[in-house]
Amino acid sequence: MRRLLLSILSLFLFLSFSHLYAKEYTVTKVIDGDTIQLETGEIVRYIGIDAPELYVKNGGAEFYAKEAARYNRKLVFLKKVRLEFDEEKKDQHGRLLAYVFVKNIFVNAELVRLGFARALIKPPNTKYKDLLLSYQKKAMDEERGLWQETKKDTEMVYIGNKRTYVLHRPNCPLTKKISEKNRIIFRSRMDAIRIGYSPCKQCKP
């Protein structure tokens, strides 16, 4: 609770004073539910969230991906945005990693709050972890957006990595690389997702 209150206070202070000094950029393209392009040509990947994929290998889109992209567009397209960074400024693809604000709207959090994206915890970028998880819990409880899709557990247990916040099936090759101190067992995939774990891209639990 204390960390959540600190996150809310930090957000309030940022929104209250950031307009006095923060540089603003115009969003010229919305790539999907969690990625945009600025007038500078730079690509920005929102920190702390993961929207459903618009393009997957079979040529389709994940559940609620189009809705997420449309709502992201509504929030930011051709608008001035402010960027706030965390510990890492760029990812391995060279994209900027940022918390995005349009006036007093915290875009990353708004997408999670309304069920257009999941909270994605990836240390060391965890400044708003508690705030995003609290919004996700409420969206899950109310079955908003992407949480309308129900998936049954297909495994007896799931294995999480406490260092990376990634959730795996027990037979996933990547589980062999998880040390005992970082290994955590879940009886339900939703129990893991509720506290910030993200499904492995390889074994797709």
pLDDT of residue 60: 81
Average pLDDT taken over every residue of the chain: 90
- Assess whether 88 carries a catalytic annotation: no
Tokens of 114: 């309304």
Residue 124: CB atoms within 10 A of its CB come to 8
- Assess whether 143 carries a catalytic annotation: no
Whether residue 97 has pLDDT greater than 80? yes
Which H, E and C letters describe the chain, residue by residue?
A: CHHHHHHHHHHHHHHHHHHHCCCEEEEEEEEECCEEEECCCCEEEECCEECCCCCCCCCCCCCCHHHHHHHHHHHHCCCEEEEECCCCCECCCCCEEEEEEECCEEHHHHHHHCCCCEECCECCECCCHHHHHHHHHHHHHCCCHHHHCCCCCCCCCEEEECCCCEEECCCCHHHHHCCHHHEEEECCHHHHHHCCCEECCCCCC
Per-residue pLDDT, averaged over 17-33, amounts to: 81
Task: Compute the distance between CA of residue 196 and CA of residue 151 in angstroms, rounded to an integer.
Answer: 17
- Assess whether 45 carries a catalytic annotation: yes
In which band, very low, low, confident or very high, does the pLDDT at 20 lie, cut at 50, 70 and 90? very low
Choosing from 62, 88, 95, 183, the catalytic residue is 95
pTM of the model: 0.84
pLDDT of residue 8: 59
Whether residue 4 has pLDDT greater than 80? no
Choosing from 45, 113, 144, 189, the catalytic residue is 45
Q: What is the pLDDT of residues 151-164, one digit of tens each?
A: 889 999 999 999 99
Q: What domains can you pick out in the chain, each with its CATH number?
A: 2-146 (2.40.50.90), 151-199 (no CATH)
